[in-house]
Amino acid sequence: MLKKIDGFIIALICVIVFAWFIPISDHTINTNLETITDIGISLIFLFYGLKLSPKEMKMGLANYKLHILIQATTFLLFPLLILCLLPLVSNPDLQILWMALFFMAALPSTVSSSVVMVSIAKGNIPAAIFNASLSGLLGVIITPLWIAIFMTTSDHQFSLTDSVVSLILKIILPVCIGLVLNKRLGHIAQNNKRALTLFDKSVILTIVYHSFSNSFSSNIFGNFKVSYIVYTLIITIGVFVMVYFISNFVALKLGFSREDRITASFCGSKKSLVHGSVMAKVLFKGMSTQGVFIVPIMIYHSIQLVIISFIAQKEERNTQKIED
């Protein structure tokens, strides 16, 4: 059976509703919140570096075919599937929605939930840790490159160099510092995983509130029809199903073990809400439409949690039957 609905999903919905009724109107508060989220972002990835074991990373290095499949699925298959929808875009509102979907497709894989679900399903855990971590680092470069191709909005001057430098400073540098400190302070992070997870979610909720507050204040969602949400839901479910089964099919053709197939399909089909929130803040900084760009990744995050949780529990039962 599926677990009860994730409390974080409910919190995300509540934050959006709160931003609708009480958007930020004061410039000073807006600036202070911007600073707070910037600091929070750096701390998220510093703590992630502290939790990241170099030993576990080394264990996952050898299986290069699995790594190539997961990274190709994350950064090539996903964007190409959304790219196929571009000819169907017919008006400016749909163009923004398509760009938001493409942003979601270009994001790296999630880390913690990928590893947890792979663990439940009895997949290749070291490979999951390695690929989820590698994906987050590669995304700092690859995601802005994809976005730069289509970022042609007249109200925003997109700078690829500035975006990449900003992401390196906010993501890669804190991770590297965390890795350096891992030997001395890693045990503190490992012993306080629940508190750090709560901190991560709090920062994401703050970013979401800030983004949606600015969008609501600018009336960006004034022409955003309910049908657009339905389109997004249908597309994200469809893309998830296609990616999951394509990656599993390719893994079968390549002769992967059951553990590696689970890891390939689980890690390859995930997208990171953490990176999505952070990158939207950087890549679309100053844009009133920033909140729109977070909508697809929020929906996809909810979908992947529900579906992968169900599949992981099913795989766990299958493993138990094989062992019995």
Residue 25: name the closest of 174, 241, 273, 217 by CA.
217
Structure tokens at 170: 């906010």
67-71, 250-254, 263-267, 307-311: range with lowest mean pLDDT: 307-311
pLDDT band per the 50, 70, 90 thresholds, residue 91: confident
Q: What is residue 138's predicted lDDT score, i.e. its pLDDT? A: 94
Residue 153: name the closest of 286, 22, 51 by CA.
286
Rounded to whole angstroms, the Cα distance separating 294 from 248 reads 28
Cβ-based neighbour number of residue 98 at 10 Å:
20
143-152, 173-182, 217-226, 279-288: range with lowest mean pLDDT: 217-226
Residue 155 pLDDT greater than 60, yes or no = no
Rounded to whole angstroms, the Cα distance separating 320 from 102 reads 39
Rounded to whole angstroms, the Cα distance separating 324 from 25 reads 62
Angle at 295 between CA 47 and CA 276, to 5 degrees: 25
Q: Tell me the average pLDDT across 122-146.
A: 90
CA of 56: how far to CAs of 43, 115, 286, 311, in Å?
22, 12, 39, 25
Q: What is residue 194's predicted lDDT score, i.e. its pLDDT? A: 86
Q: Are 287 and 155 in contact (CB under 8 A)?
A: yes
Angle between helical axes of 273-283 and 125-150 (0-180°, round to 10): 30
Rounded to whole angstroms, the Cα distance separating 310 from 122 reads 14
The CATH number that domain 7-318 falls under is 1.20.1530.20
Q: What is residue 52's predicted lDDT score, i.e. its pLDDT? A: 77
Give 267-314 pLDDT, tens digit per residue. Answer: 999 999 889 988 988 888 877 777 888 889 988 988 888 888 788 878
193-202, 210-219, 261-270, 296-305: range with lowest mean pLDDT: 210-219
Q: Tell me the average pLDDT across 44-48.
A: 89
Q: What is residue 20's predicted lDDT score, i.e. its pLDDT? A: 86
Q: Are 140 and 168 in contact (CB under 8 A)?
A: yes
Residue 121 pLDDT greater than 50, yes or no = yes
Q: Are 283 and 144 in contact (CB under 8 A)?
A: yes
What residue segments make up the domains of the chain, in order of their start?
A: 7-318
Q: Are 31 and 214 in contact (CB under 8 A)?
A: no
Q: What is residue 274's predicted lDDT score, i.e. its pLDDT? A: 86
Structure tokens at 228: 């657009």
Q: Are 305 and 7 in contact (CB under 8 A)?
A: no
Q: Tell me the average pLDDT across 229-250.
A: 93
